[in-house]
Structure 1
Amino acid sequence: MKRYKDLFFDLDDTLWDFERNSEETLKELYHRFLAQELGEENCTLFLSTYHRINESLWNEYKLNRIKKTEVAYLRFLYTLEESGSNNVSLARLLAEEYIRSSPTKTNLIPGATEVLESLIREYKLHIITNGFTEVQIPKLLNSGIRHYFTTLTTSEEAGCLKPCSQIFSFALEKAKAQINQSLMIGDDPEGDIRGARQIGLDTVFFVKDSKNLQIES
């Protein structure tokens, strides 16, 4: 049986509960800045519009068609426009507040801390993430799991986003890890799993659903 020495984790929705933390942040922003104008009853519609637009813009970002600063701002501008508001200043404020507030959230995937506590006894642990550097580091610190990881590799640092093979090669080199002794763990079948397998990394596909958590290799 292969003996691994280095385990590489995705962060969002593998360890840090992005879906829950983002939802909490967006609801807080809506009630602080938008409820009076758009109505308390329209919060759910606003959030669903935001998620659709954000996903589309992230796809553009992955293809290097827009910059990260544009993603951060335009997702709120376009959502406001679809909601009947053309307040550019408010869109910029929401973008700034989201980047500031969301990393302060501390919800982790259930069992994440216990798993990390167990694994660190035998392995070196690392992070590979597509998230913005200024957001991902505070997430780790505020949620109390930064100390588990020897290295953190972001897409900005590596010069490309997962599933680009370059980010995995960069992370391995940074960690001084051997590819045949390393394992990638993530929840994205395209970015985490296919990307890692392109360079020969073994992988574990983490599956999260509403009823239970399971890991499929």
Structure 2
Amino acid sequence: MKLVKAILFDLDDTLLNRDHAVDNLFHIMLEKYYGAVEHSVKTDMLQQFKEYDKRDYGYADKTNVLSSFFDAFPPTFQLPRHDMQDFWNQQFPYCFSINQHTLKVIQTMKKHVQVGIITNGSTQRQKAKITHTGLASYFDVVLISEEVGFTKPDKRIFELALNQLHVQPEEALFVGDDLEKDIAGCQQAKMKGIWFNPHQLTNPTDIKPDAEIHSFDQLIKGRALFN
């Protein structure tokens, strides 16, 4: 194996905990559009909100997520349908936070390799997340699908990152949580795919990651990456 010169990462559910951000957005909605809500009802509402979000995950337009939720749980204060997308765009990116330990791991990696982000999603929201969490200054390249015109698992978005970093596919690793989009995608570009699986889920697919990690510490402990 050639010396690893670059490690690239997915953003949502890899570098950033999207599930926590969805929780935060839900509580903003409660505060803005609902009065006092009983705890048991609030739990049901959150569960349903997450179901709607999961259903439309990957779609840039989140109007249906919010409209479905408000139809199921009529709010005290109405948010017009034509304002729902703006609400999501303006609020959701700022619901994210970065784990400080993750930043320390990235800093350690940067002493040895180039690092980058490849993420699917809208340019506006993904850039806002990256800027808000302070990630922008840590990475040598950031590619957002809407901005570059290719969406994971299309191998071209991975190849574009490799070209910008001036590294060969066998000199780079990609770390992501999505087996199809992240792992199969990068493997099509001849990169090695590291499955980030913090919840230690069973692999339900025929896709075979080159390695599996449950924490970013395992990347640092894999000293062979940097030797």
Identify the TM-score tier after normalising by the shorter chain: 0.7 to 0.9
Counterpart residue number, 1:44: 43
Task: Name the structure 2 match of 1:25.
Answer: 25
RMSD between aligned alpha carbons? 2.7
| Correspondence 1:158 to 2:159 | no
Residue type at the aligned position of 1:183? L
Tell me which residue corresponds to 1:185.
Answer: 175
Question: Post-superposition shift, 1:109?
Answer: 4.2
- Structure 2 counterpart of 1:147, one-letter code: S
Counterpart code for 2:63: Y
What's 1:80 paired with?
Answer: 70
Q: Would the alpha carbon gap of residues 95 and 194 (structure 1) be closer, same or farther in structure 2, given more than 3 Å must change?
A: same
Partner residue of 2:199? Answer: 209
DSSP 3-state at the match of 2:42: helix
* Structure (1 or 2) with the greater helix fraction: 1
The alpha carbon displacement at 1:197 in A equals 0.9
1:131–1:162 Cα change, 3 Å: same
For residue 139 of structure 2, the aligned residue among 143, 149, 164 is: 149
Partner of 2:115, secondary structure, is strand
- Give the whole-Å Cα distance in 2 for the aligned partners of 1:5 and 1:167: 18
TM-score (ref. length: structure 1):
0.81
Cα deviation, residue 92, structure 1: 4.2
Give the 3-state SS of the residue equivalent to 2:142 in structure 1: strand
Are 2:5 and 1:15 equivalent residues in the alignment?
no
The answer to whether residue 114 in structure 2 is matched with residue 124 in structure 1 is yes
Q: 1:208 to 1:90 in 2, by over 3 A?
A: farther
Count of residue pairs brought into register by the alignment: 204
In structure 1, runs of 5+ residues without a counterpart are 62-67
Q: How far has the Cα of 1:134 moved from its partner?
A: 0.9
- The change in CA–CA distance for 1:35 and 1:90 in structure 2 (over 3 A counts) is farther
Shift of 1:192: 0.8
Counterpart of 1:99 (choices 78, 84, 89) is 89
Give the letter aligned to residue 4 of structure 1: V
Q: Which amino acid aligns with 2:101?
A: G
Percentage identity across aligned positions? 24
- Over 3 Å counting, the alpha-carbon distance change for 1:58 and 1:20 in structure 2 is closer
SS at match of 1:108: coil
Separation of aligned partners in 2, 1:44 and 1:94? 22
Q: Which runs of 4+ in 1 moved over 3 A?
A: 87-95, 212-217
TM-score by length of 2: 0.78
Mapped pair 1:55 → 2:48: no
Deviates more, 1:166-175 or 1:115-124: 166-175
Cα distance change, pair 20–180 in 1 and its aligned pair in 2 (3 A): same
Post-superposition offset of 1:173: 2.7
Gap change, CA 1:213 and 1:179, over 3 Å in 2: closer
Moved more, 25-34 or 147-156: 25-34
Query: Are the structure 2 counterparts of residues 84 and 25 from structure 1 closer, same or farther at C-alpha, using a change threshold of 3 Å?
Result: closer
Question: Does 2:157 correspond to 1:167?
Answer: yes
CA deviation map 1:118-173 (0-9, x unaligned): 00111111100012211122222221221111111111123232222222223223
Structure 2 gaps of 5+ residues are 201-212, 220-227
SS class of match (1:13)? coil
Whether contact under 8 Å (1:7, 1:125) holds in the other structure is yes
